[in-house]
Amino acid sequence: MRIAVVGSGYVGLVTGACFADLGHDVVLVDNDDQKLAALENGTIPIHERFLPELIARHRGKRIRFTGDLQSAAHECDTIFIAVGTPPTDHGEADLSYVESVAREISSAVGSYKVVVEKSTVPVYTSQWIRTVIIRNGAHPSSFDIASNPEFLREGSAVTDFLYPDRIVVGVESERCAGVLREIYAPLTSGEYYSHRDAIPRPDRAQVPPRLIVTSTRSAELIKHASNAFLAMKISFINAVASICESVGANVQQVCEGIGADSRIGPRFLNPGIGYGGSCFPKDLMAFRSVAKECGYDFRLLEEVIRINEDQRHRFLKKVRGVLWTLRGKRLGVLGLAFKGGTDDIRESPAVLLVQELLHEGCRICVYDPAAMARAKEVLGAGVEYSSGPYEAASGADALLILTEWEEFAALDLDRMRKALKYPIVLDGRNLYDPATMTAHGLSYYSVGRPAALTEDVQAEVSPGKRETA
């Protein structure tokens, strides 16, 4: 099919590349000439596994780039809106970009077209898009509006698109549903997975995926409700981790016990320094605003947000407790992205922690495999940027692990101990087994687990009790 994807940001670029890999002809539309020129030259603006390969495979063939929205809308059968919906000062989603697209494509609606919300939007947005298009001259029978929310995790977005848990399609007519079924047929029929050059199947992927057809309003709510629930799960286990620290329990063992319950499951039960990124914080605020407009006081969401913010402050307090005073201390920091596998630092708890430590007077040397360039735009010259994890730790009073990159979970611990001024590691992502760290001469502080101290540090903490420590 001929598909226009409006917006070459994170969602739009991944969506366009994956549709091309399914065999569709894709026109990717953006009003940023500089970004379009970079994409034409094969430069990918985001760090995402498999995305460069897909763009290189289909650029100039099944996918092309343009700034002419009306022409793209006129020639394509289906138009996916994937523009930004940033939060306003009051927390609602700013839908002005969505409205602008709806106005512009209205004149291109002649023969039947399907206009699809791909951006994360609040309920009733589909109705407003329809109203705007009709007000600007399109006949009501010449188009349908659909909601097709994305469930893409940064760092694994391509595989999430091609091997989804489910495909949600919100429609108001069977004709519209048929178009969306045809678009996703290579996945739902299993045809795509038989291709020799298909993107490799990840663990736990169920093939073929289930396609769920709902109303547009239900589909709009599914996206916000999904992200809110996952954020709640993260905040819940972080709250449990705080209790574990108070009573001397091990949150990893607690997670194993509750995650074995089939009603709960182990995923997203990973305590740490809190969630971040462009989705959870924005979507929770937007969902809370939607609930408020509907007359429902969704206080649970407010508590989820509060716990997440508190988790970062608790980790900062842990750093103070280990190092006593912070002014003048040199810290090595591993990780700036909000999660491993991406260069996205939006609402990153790692960056927020670095900023707070700088305010406390620390000298900081950082390393991240992908997010250094973006972090420099925010942190500037206030920190030192290193070329690797051991360089970041060199001469440091302590090492902080703030992002769960795979390479950070496979460090040469003996080399790290020698690089550090003091053998102290504070791990905000629980990447290591405490006993392994002490065996390599490192005192180890993690989240929701008892501190693992080397024998000499135990003697410092409990003088005269070395033999029983």
Verify cis geometry, omega within 30 degrees of 0, for the bond prior to 208. yes
Structure tokens at 346: 């939006």
Which residues, 6+ apart, have CB-to-CB distance to 221 below 8 Å? 123
147 beta partners: 117, 170
The string over 347-369, giving b where at least 16 C-beta atoms fall within 10 Å of a residue's C-beta and e elsewhere, is bbbbbbbbebbbeeebbbbbbbb
Marked catalytic residue, from 76, 255, 279, 362: 279
279 labelled catalytic: yes
Q: What are phi and psi of 123, to 5 degrees?
A: -60, 150
Q: Which residues are tagged catalytic?
A: 279
